[in-house]
Chains A and B, each alone.
Chain A
Amino acid sequence: MTRMETAMEPEATLAPGLPIVSGRRVGKLFGDFRALTEVSIDVEEGEVVCIIGPSGSGKTTFLRCLNQLERIDEGALWLDGELLGWRLESDRLHPLPEAEIARQRRKTGMVFQRFNLFPHMTALQNITEGPVQVLREPRGQAEDRGRRLLSRVGLAEKASSYPKDLSGGQQQRVAIARALAMNPKVMLFDEPTSALDPELVGEVLSVMKDLARAGMTMVVVTHELGFAREVADRVVFMDQGRVVETGPAQQLMDDPQEERTRNFIRSVLGRE
């Protein structure tokens, strides 16, 4: 058995300290446009990593690659000991069938910028849809769990509301509960507060803080530098598809080593 195969065993338990997410020189092209260049990011279990950077820097694209909404063109992505999207067999890559990709996706929970709740379902149905349809959980059990998740995000009384009757902040909290319902190993947040009215940002961030405190592994693409400083273990600064700088949250924000990081942080803080 080669070293590679051992690492890909789905049941393989990670050695302590081995990252749960591992990006190795990841590259992504959209036609002629290069969105990612040699992005290498590791995330340890239980760690909160915030990715910051100007728009068009590739941070959202990287997150979408982690969830396989985009397929990478270069490098490799590992999640929970599995190579994402491919099966490696004696130096040849075989694309995984759709069902396998769907199985890998279940290890990540995704929260979108624009919530993307299912509008024809109530808040509770949004949450139970995955467990019932994908995990084949009995409906009663899924609903009990769904209600607990709703109260965890502070929306116990909104179980039978449709998304159109919820505020943006409430919708985003339901979306977080929906992602949590799949028991993901890693939660991915794609600018979760960018589409919200300013006064609703706080309620979503506080739910995310609770999650982080409870030990959830999180990768957060965000413009909320305050949140990053307070909650993140590490911050990654990206620009033009590359990782420019990465480091402990406070150190990177208070004492950035790179010129571009300094400029970005100054311009964002200057706006506030």
Chain B
Amino acid sequence: MAGGASAIAPARREAVPEVDVSAMTIVRPRRWGRIAAVAIMLALIAWLTKAFAEGKIAWEVTGEYLFWPSILMGVVNTIWMSIACMIIGIVIGVAVAVMRGSPNPVLRSVAIGYQWFFRGTPVILQLLIWFNLALVFPRLGIPGLFEARTVDVITPAMATLLGLGLNQGAYTSEVMRAGLLSVDRGQYEAAQAIGMSYWASLKRIILPQAMRVVIPPLGNEFIGLVKMTSLASIIGFADVLRTSQDIYYVNARVIELLMVAAAWYLVVVTILSLGQARLERRFGRGFASGVRDR
């Protein structure tokens, strides 16, 4: 570094030393922060491993129940319920997001009212309301067409589907709305200019572009939903947590079976994250992203 006075003076050509970067060794900067972080994390992992290894966990019991038939059934139930609720959530979410952007004040109010109710109450409360629907409507159906006792229709699975699906729709609609808002107005106009109807331009032009923006938060929502299905265990839906509990009520291997459930949730969420990365590439075609995403 030059001294104070010479830094102000105009640089003279002969003052520049001969340097050829190709002929020299490059010293990589030491990343002390990273090294420290890795050391701390390794220590934490070692400590946790030790605690769980020496703690009162019979790992062989965990292993034994990992592929237990009723546990596997629970995993299957957790998966299909998550997918079904997410489909309901996306369908409702797109509809409500479009309704909120509609010039029709009736549609807009319905959409806002729906979001207000389902985001305004705890999901566990909504599950209990659906499960106890028979207290308000003893019978369900369309008079003359079909009719049934509510308790026969609203099974734990049905109550979960309605409760989580409708709740998910309220949250997904805001994610979708963000996606729709992210698409430039010129895209709507270009679609209209080639004679597309509003619905065709939504389907072909706007939504595919919105999807690109929407997938990371939707992945978030989906992963949250997988774990939210565990709430349905309180109304008797046989998901993986409920089946684990049913077993430990009998054999008292509480922590071992909770580890079984934890392992399965991690497996499902890992697979979902991989799927999300694929979808992002699929919908990212034609876009140069400003940030590195891998």
- List residues of chain A with CB under 8 Å of any chain B CB: 67, 69, 98-99, 102-103, 105-106, 108-110, 112, 114, 116-122, 129-130, 133-135, 162-164, 178-179, 181-182
Q: Which residues of A contact B196 (CB under 8 A)?
A: 102, 130, 133-134
What 5 A-B pairs have minimum CB-CB distances, sorted nearest first? A130-B194, A116-B190, A106-B195, A110-B193, A162-B286
- Whether B197 pairs with A119 at a CB distance below 8 angstroms is no
- Beyond A116-B190, A118-B190, whether A99 also contacts B197 by CB under 8 A is yes
Q: Assuming A134-B195, A179-B194, is B189 touching A164 (CB within 8 A)?
A: no
Q: Dominant SS at the B interface?
A: helix
Q: Is the CB of A116 within 8 A of B186?
A: yes
A189–B283 Cα gap in the complex (Å)? 31
Complexed CA–CA distance, A168 and B87 (Å): 40
Q: Are A117 and B195 in contact (CB under 8 A)?
A: no
Contact across chains for A119 and B287 when beta carbons are under 8 A apart? yes
B285 adjacent to chain A (CB < 8 Å): yes
- What A residues does B197 contact at CB under 8 A? 98-99, 102
Determine if B288 is an interface residue (Cβ-Cβ < 8 Å).
yes
Given the known interface contacts A133-B196, A164-B287, the answer about A112 and B189 at a Cβ–Cβ threshold of 8 Å is yes
In Å, the complex CA distance between A69 and B187 comes to 12
Question: Are A129 and B204 in contact (CB-based, < 8 A)?
Answer: yes
Interface residue from B187, B195, B204, B287 paired with A182 (Cβ < 8 Å):
B195
Query: Contacts A99-B197, A130-B196, A134-B196; is A120 near B208 (CB within 8 Å)?
Result: yes
The verdict on A119 contacting B195 (CB below 8 Å), with A69-B189, A112-B190 known, is no
Which A-chain residue is minimally distant from B195 (CB atoms)? A106
Query: In the complex, what's the smallest C-beta–C-beta distance from A192 to chain B, in angstroms?
Result: 13
Q: A103 vs B3: C-alpha distance in the bound complex, in angstroms?
A: 75
What sequence of 0s and 1s flags, for each residue 265-287 of chain B, a beta carbon within 8 Å of any chain A beta carbon? 00000000000000000010111
Give the chain A neighbours of B205 by CB distance below 8 A.
118, 129
A114 to B185, CA, bound (A): 11
Q: Can you give 23 A-B contacts (C-beta < 8 A)?
A: A69-B189, A69-B192, A98-B197, A102-B192, A102-B195, A105-B192, A105-B193, A106-B195, A108-B193, A112-B186, A112-B189, A112-B193, A116-B184, A118-B205, A120-B208, A120-B285, A122-B286, A129-B205, A133-B204, A134-B196, A135-B195, A162-B286, A164-B286
Bound-complex Cα distance A119 to B284 (A):
10
- Please indicate the chain B residues that have their CB under 8 angstroms from the CB of A179 in the complex: 193-194
State the Cβ distance, B114 to closest chain A Cβ, in Å.
25
Which residues from A are CB-within-8-Å of B229?
Answer: none
